[in-house]
């Protein structure tokens, strides 16, 4: 009932409940005893091991990755195995038809490398083509939102450099779950039900993902032999089959049937790209993201703006600290939406956006007592997704994110192959003056971002999913650790806010934020929507910390998802 009230009424009720609880406690025992008896303020313990660990959003995927580690596989081997299982068990969020970004930390050299495996628009897709079809803005679903899927080629490229086990061995768990089926878990069922409408116009998608015309219930065993067939082809024939062989033919047949523009040449020519991560220093920690066409620069700019003033001594959920985080987020998002695009076609002003002087200028625009509802971008020139992370026994770390963008992507399923085609093209604009304007062969602006942070012997691979939510969630996570001394599980579980764009004063906040903070934020002009204690709207994260001195690994998994962190079993 609480979540259907107006925000102001919700806040008043929460304040009243908390005041009553404190009054009752004080009547029974001294107040100090009430506070001391509360224990820690997060639920799960970290998983700690000197073996490798895999942390994903679904237990079956974590288990598959841990088994690969136990067989002597590298962090990359385990990540590919986990990603393949997630393609089966989280079909609305990830899969063979999506894109991939990775940051990989080499333990022996201390080097951090990046891989951009995002695909371009078909060469024949253009604003003029869409205009002839009557589109005045980028289609958000359907075949014309589909871009070349980069994930499978990205798997192969990073496996070639860092893999240890044979390629075909990495897909066996995923193939088995596709054929034998798996019980649908709670968070996945919720996402399935919420996004099933995207499938209704596509008979192949309905056939595969709505068995009997219905969304599977929690505990229902779901089977997808078609994706099992596709995975078996990839395991046996390699990525060539996806871009030139039987799977490519199925993609092209599906596209042609729906009037799409994808060609055999578009698929065959695709190649992912090694990139250099971008980074900032935040209060003595090096925080890294991937460069454009991802939105990683927004997370770093947000942290830079937050760093201009000290963290509030009253804690991360104090009115002053949350207000600063929210306003810093708006400023950073206004910039990333204006300046981010494929770097092969546009020289984004990354160094300007990440300069400390520019951060000071942007921070000066924050009114500590009032929310800004009309945020404009600055001028820096002169100045539903699946994330997983794995560490192997040698300390190598993979920070790994793969997605079909919105839940169930384009809504279109590759005929006979059981996987959804992504809708990454939805993130293009048709504005001819914007750097992210649609063009054939060009990669769109991307929301998915893996992250990494380190100081001394502490190295953390982390990511928090959820479209536009990701940069602001990254910044909140990093600040929780750096400014407030939280461990990675506490930082991941901590209540978060989210907002989809820079404009307006609306935002969503989990109800675990203190009622007094919600009240004061409302008084400063923030239009608050109070959400459940743990909601997928805030993203679903994973994190692993490797201590290179003690060789000990610490892992965290977000309770907002169905996953867990599972250590590598010792094989005797």
Catalytic residue IDs: 385
From the number of C-beta atoms within 10 Å of its C-beta (0-12, 13-18, 19+), residue 411 rates as buried
Inter-CA distances, 541 with 105, 122, 491, Å: 19, 32, 10
Separation CA 416–CA 41 (nearest Å): 48
What three-state secondary structure class fits 397?
strand
Write out the DSSP string of 313-334.
TT-TTSHHHHHHHHHHHHHHHH
Taking alpha carbons only, the member of 466, 31, 114 closest to residue 293 is: 114
Inter-CA distances, 309 with 66, 275, 283, 324, 364, Å: 42, 32, 11, 9, 10
- Count Cβ neighbours within 10 Å for each residue of 250-279 and write b for 16 or more, e otherwise: bbbebbeebebbbeeebbeebebeebebbb
Separation CA 391–CA 546 (nearest Å): 8
**106 near 396, Cβ under 8 Å?**
yes
What three-state secondary structure class fits 231?
helix
Taking alpha carbons only, the member of 564, 396, 448 closest to residue 56 is: 564
CB-based contacts of 456: which residues, under 8 Å, 6+ apart?
none
- Count Cβ neighbours within 10 Å for each residue of 181-199 and write b for 16 or more, e otherwise: ebebbebbbebbeebbebb
- Which residue is it, tokens 């078609």? 226
Residue 513 φ then ψ, to 5°:
-65, 135
Separation CA 125–CA 442 (nearest Å): 10
DSSP 364: T
Q: The dihedral of CA 324, 330, 333, 339: what is its sign? A: negative
Q: Please, what's the largest Cα pairwise distance for the chain? A: 75
CB-based contacts of 236: which residues, under 8 Å, 6+ apart?
168
Taking alpha carbons only, the member of 528, 553, 70 closest to residue 323 is: 528
């Amino acid at each position: 009932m609480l979540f259907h009230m107006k925000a102001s009424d919700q806040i008043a009720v929460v304040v009243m409940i908390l005041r009553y609880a404190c009054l009752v406690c004080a009547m029974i025992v001294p107040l100090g005893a009430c506070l001391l008896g509360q224990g820690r303020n997060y639920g799960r313990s970290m998983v700690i091991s000197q073996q490798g660990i895999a942390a994903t959003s679904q237990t079956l995927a974590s288990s598959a990755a841990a088994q690969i580690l136990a067989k002597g596989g590298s962090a990359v081997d385990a990540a590919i195995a986990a990603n393949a299982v997630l393609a089966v068990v989280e079909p609305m969020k990830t899969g063979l038809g999506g894109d991939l970004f990775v940051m990989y930390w080499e333990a022996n050299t201390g080097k951090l490398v990046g891989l951009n495996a995002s695909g371009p628009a078909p060469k024949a897709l253009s604003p003029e083509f869409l205009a002839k079809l009557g589109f005045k803005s980028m289609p958000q679903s359907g075949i014309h939102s589909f871009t070349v899927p980069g994930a499978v080629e990205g798997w192969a490229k990073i496996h070639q450099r860092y893999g240890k086990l044979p390629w075909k061995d990495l897909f066996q768990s995923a193939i088995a779950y596709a054929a034998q089926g798996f019980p649908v878990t709670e968070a996945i069922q919720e996402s399935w039900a919420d996004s099933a409408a995207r499938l209704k116009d596509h008979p192949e998608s309905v056939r595969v993902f709505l068995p009997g015309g219905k969304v599977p219930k929690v505990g229902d065993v779901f089977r997808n032999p078609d994706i099992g067939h596709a995975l078996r082809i990839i395991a046996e024939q390699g990525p060539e089959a996806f871009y030139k062989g039987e799977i490519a033919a199925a993609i092209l047949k599906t596209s042609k049937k729906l009037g799409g523009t994808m060609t055999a040449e578009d698929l065959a020519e695709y190649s992912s790209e090694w990139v250099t991560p971008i980074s900032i220093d935040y209060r003595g920690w090096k925080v890294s993201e991937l460069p454009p066409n991802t939105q990683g620069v927004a997370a770093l700019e947000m942290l830079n703006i937050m760093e201009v003033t000290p963290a509030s001594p009253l804690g991360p959920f104090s009115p002053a600290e949350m207000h600063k985080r929210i306003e810093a987020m708006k400023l950073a998002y206004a910039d990333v939406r204006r300046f981010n695009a494929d770097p092969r076609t546009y020289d984004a002003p990354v160094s300007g956006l990440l300069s400390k002087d520019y951060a000071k200028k942007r921070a000066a625009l924050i009114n500590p007592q009032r929310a800004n509802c009309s945020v404009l971008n600055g001028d820096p020139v002169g100045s539903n997704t699946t994330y997983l992370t794995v560490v192997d026994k040698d300390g190598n770390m993979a920070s790994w994110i793969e997605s079909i963008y919105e839940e169930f992507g384009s809504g279109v399923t590759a005929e006979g192959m059981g996987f959804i085609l992504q809708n990454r093209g939805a993130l293009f604009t048709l504005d001819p003056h914007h750097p992210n304007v649609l063009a054939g062969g060009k990669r769109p602006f991307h929301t998915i971002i893996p992250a990494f942070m380190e100081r001394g012997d502490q190295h953390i691979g982390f990511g928090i999913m959820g479209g536009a939510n990701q940069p602001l969630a990254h910044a909140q996570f990093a600040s929780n650790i750096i400014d407030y001394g939280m461990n990675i599980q506490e930082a991941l579980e901590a209540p978060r806010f989210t907002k989809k764009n820079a404009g307006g004063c609306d935002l969503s906040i989990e109800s675990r934020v203190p009622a007094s903070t919600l009240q004061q934020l409302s008084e400063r002009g923030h239009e608050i929507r109070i959400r459940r204690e743990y909601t997928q709207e805030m993203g679903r994260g994973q994190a692993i910390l490797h201590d290179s001195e003690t060789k000990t690994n610490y892992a965290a998994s977000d309770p907002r998802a169905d996953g867990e962190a599972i250590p590598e079993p010792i094989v005797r």
